[in-house]
Amino acid sequence: MSASPDNPTSLPNELARERNREAADRTLLAWIRTSLAMISLGFGIEQVGQAAVGLDGDLVGFSPLKTRIAGAALIALGIAATLAGMWEHRHMLQAIVRDDYRYADRPAIARFMGMALVGVGVAALAVILFGL
């Protein structure tokens, strides 16, 4: 059986759809792992900061509010990454099942998540260096 525009259900087309579906599933799992890491790191930062403040209230640069904000920012970013990955996965699956599926360039969610993570990092660095 050969692939042709007249025969969209040919074996090569169906196998290609299956590979694309599996790739989309792996991408979603990667987003979930990344999100879990960000959420865990945010929770860890908040807990370690709270413990450090509890041990010695004179630690320079630590405050309950700062560690809570830094932890919450990473947790929120992790939640946003999960939602963005789920959104991208759903749209990819909808595109794959269409008979006229063609590749279409789309915004890279990873780039936006990376920029958000850089923003959180720059804010954390400013807090550490300047005690804001």
39 within 8 A of 78, measured Cβ to Cβ: yes
The mean per-residue pLDDT over the stretch 22-40 comes to 93
Single-letter code of the amino acid located at 112: F
Output 127 or 47, whichever has higher pLDDT. Answer: 47
45 within 8 A of 71, measured Cβ to Cβ: yes
Q: Which two tokens stand for residue 73?
A: 């920012």
Q: 6 pLDDT exceeds 60?
A: no
Spatial distance between the Cα atoms of 15 and 4, rounded to a whole number of angstroms = 14
In the block, tokens 């979930």 appear at 32
Q: What is the pLDDT of residues 43-102, one digit of tens each?
A: 998 888 878 777 765 666 667 788 888 899 999 999 999 999 999 999 888 888 887 877
Domain locations along the chain: 11-130
Contacts of 121 (CB under 8 A, 6+ apart): none
Query: Model-level pTM?
Result: 0.75
